[in-house]
Chain A
Amino acid sequence: MSATDKFLRMGLAVAMFLAVVGVILFVASRFRGRSAERWVALTFLLPTGLLVAIGLIYPGLRTIYQSFLDAGGNSFVGLANYATIFTDSGQLTVLRNTVLWVVLTPFVATAIGLLYAILIDKARMEALAKALIFLPMAISFVGASIIWKFVYEFRPDQPGVNQIGLLNQILVSLGGSPRQWLLDEPWNTLFLIVVMIWIQAGFAMTVLSAAIKAVPEDIVEAARLDGVKRLGMFRYVTLPTIAPAVIVVLTTIGIATLKVFDIVRTMTGGQFNTSVVANEFYSQSFRSANQGLGAALATLLFLLVIPIVAYNVRQLRSTEAR
């Protein structure tokens, strides 16, 4: 297919979509009178409702059902797939790795983001300093993985062979011998986690920096008059005030980390015991043709985020109630 063909197809799709929206708006503008509100709501919500029902609700329920079926999706096997996840040694490694990811990434990324936000607050060239840390957010996980693969690149330790990966070069200059960073478990998982932290720290920094700027000036001033010093100011004034923002950042990065797939797939392909639940789902469903186990892994992912859903819905309800 030529590029022109592709763009023509795209133009057609956009035109069709705009036509549909036009019809919706026309219909909605016709309603008059007392029951109009209900009909306007219905026409406005109809396309969204349809898409969400077909694309999120139905597939979600379907996957949960499938997780109780065998590899081919033919016969009912009860909880066997879940039993596999919690007993098979390969799957247990996947679980261990996922726990490592979800525990380490949010906390380290948030800590770095918070530290940086405090350090550069009101500093000269604050905008530039922020952009440097924030930029990895704009880079795809695939791009970031390539960047970091190159940092970890290994060359055999022989005379006349130079290291081309930065990390090994540093090791060699310090008198050590180069390592294959992505080969030995469990360390290789940690080196993959570094990539995610690198990406997410900028997000944490941005949100927390805004929160720090919103700390009321008079509280800071009052504390200063009371003789509170830098560290005390952070401990007793800044941190309590920005606590809600810290929690938002932690949960958001936590969810993103649970679903991480691209980094593992691009950097190691899940080999050398580096797979995580989200990547294992893809391998089982599309490579090993074990749809039952894949569905169970996806369902597990869903179960893991439910507490976060519940927490967020409660937050939402309480802000709506104000």
Chain B
Amino acid sequence: MTAATPAAEPTGGTTATTTTPAVNPVTLAADNAKKRLTSPWASLFAVVLAFLWTLPTFGLLITSIRPQRDINTSGWWTFFTNPAVTLDHYRTVLSTEGSAGLGAYFVNSFVIVIPSVLIPITLALLASYAFAWVDFKGRSLLFVVVFALQIVPIQVTLIPLLTLYVDAGLAGSFWTIWLSHSIFALPLAIFLLHNFMREIPKELLEAARVDGAGHVQILFKVLMPLLTPALAAFGIFQFLWVWNDLLVALTFAGGSPDVAPITVAIANLAGTQGTAWHLLSAGAFVSILVPIAVFLALQRYFVRGLLAGGLKG
């Protein structure tokens, strides 16, 4: 939440890049040998933890490809002695027809997430630049206000915002969801980008200013290339947050297949057909697949964003 996190190098995805001091190879080897002797229990424990953490997801994945009859009569672990695979459930949930079809909701999730990432990033880029490098009165006070807004619970804002949307005739459209996600993301986005911007050496900007560059030029020609990792980090943040959101979508979109994202559809499926495991498991996997793909592909940036300033609650 604050910059108190020690400035550590990004880790996930890459191997540990700890700087090994020049140690005499003999002691190093002895050290390693000692470590290997003392740590089998530690390693075992780590393996057990990793196994426990992965098992629930793995179980659901196996379930989603088993025939409906098998799912309802035996545990997923019997799959290994009695393997029978079907992709029917995925076909059912991905179709755009029928009450179990999540295809339309899947499209909605994409339509919701793209502007909801683009808009706050762009606005936060302008605002954090102003806070970091434009000199004006009341700057630090205003920044603290924006920072503090980060912790206003979304719940507090929902009903008045809904009333505003109804009055403006926007209720039940994508506009309400785009706007809401953008608003809720701004404080954190500004905070994170501001932290990155302050790390850029002052001399770089002063040199550009001497060359006659204005603020707009400095922002786009000088800072932008340096900020790409930060923008990517926040973009992934926001992508995961919006894609995984239920509360905002449920409040502003209701359950309408015209606008509601896939999380809403899955939550409804879980509520009304709690035992339809064949549809639930496949549906849940479809909804999980996109963020996991994004996460795995861009893990490094995501972790860096996490380390730069905490996480949105």
Contact = CB atoms under 8 A, between A and B. Distances in A.
Interface string B1-32: 11111111111111110110100000000000
A6 B107 contact: yes
Contacts of B225: none
Interface stretch (B70-78, B85-93, B200-208, B226-234): B70-78
Interface in B103-127: 104, 107-108, 110-111, 114-115, 118-119, 122-124, 126-127
A48 B127 contact: yes
Nearest to B17: A213
A112 B49 contact: yes
Contacts of B33: none
A32 B213 CA distance: 11
A166 B59 contact: yes
Given A164-B277, A207-B307, A139 B291 contact: yes
A120 B310 CA distance: 22
A309 B313 CA distance: 13
Contacts of B154: 259
A267 B74 CA distance: 22
Contact of B147 (A37, A282, A316): A316
Interface in B125-177: 126-127, 129-130, 134-137, 139-140, 142, 144, 146-149, 151-161, 164, 174-175
Contact of B77 (A169, A305, A317): A169
A186 interface: no
A301 B7 contact: no
Nearest to A32: B214
Given A3-B107, A138-B292, A313-B147, A131 B270 contact: no
A238 to B, nearest CB: 12
B14 A127 contact: yes
B196 interface: no
Contacts of B18: 122, 213, 217
Contact of A55 (B71, B161, B267): B161
A256 B247 CA distance: 13
Interface size class of chain A, counting residues whose CB lies under 8 Å from the partner chain: 35 or more
Interface in B61-84: 63, 71-78
Contact of A213 (B8, B46, B60, B281): B8
Interface in A139-192: 139-143, 145-151, 153, 162-166, 169
Contacts of A146: 60, 266, 270, 280-281, 283-284
B49 A133 contact: yes
A1 B59 CA distance: 36
Nearest to B182: A51
A88 interface: no
A150 B164 contact: no
Contacts of A57: 149
Given A139-B244, A213-B9, A315 B151 contact: no
Interface of A: 1, 3, 6-7, 9-10, 13-14, 17, 21, 24-25, 28-29, 31-32, 36-38, 40-42, 44-45, 47-48, 51-52, 54-60, 62-64, 66, 112, 115-116, 119-123, 126-127, 129-143, 145-151, 153, 162-166, 169, 198, 201-203, 206-207, 209-211, 213-214, 217-218, 221, 230, 242, 244-245, 247-248, 251-252, 255-259, 261-262, 265-267, 269, 278, 281-282, 285-286, 291, 294-295, 297-299, 301-302, 305, 308-309, 312-313, 315-317, 319-320
12 contacts: A13-B178, A38-B137, A41-B130, A45-B126, A51-B123, A54-B164, A56-B149, A119-B43, A150-B277, A262-B246, A308-B1, A316-B147
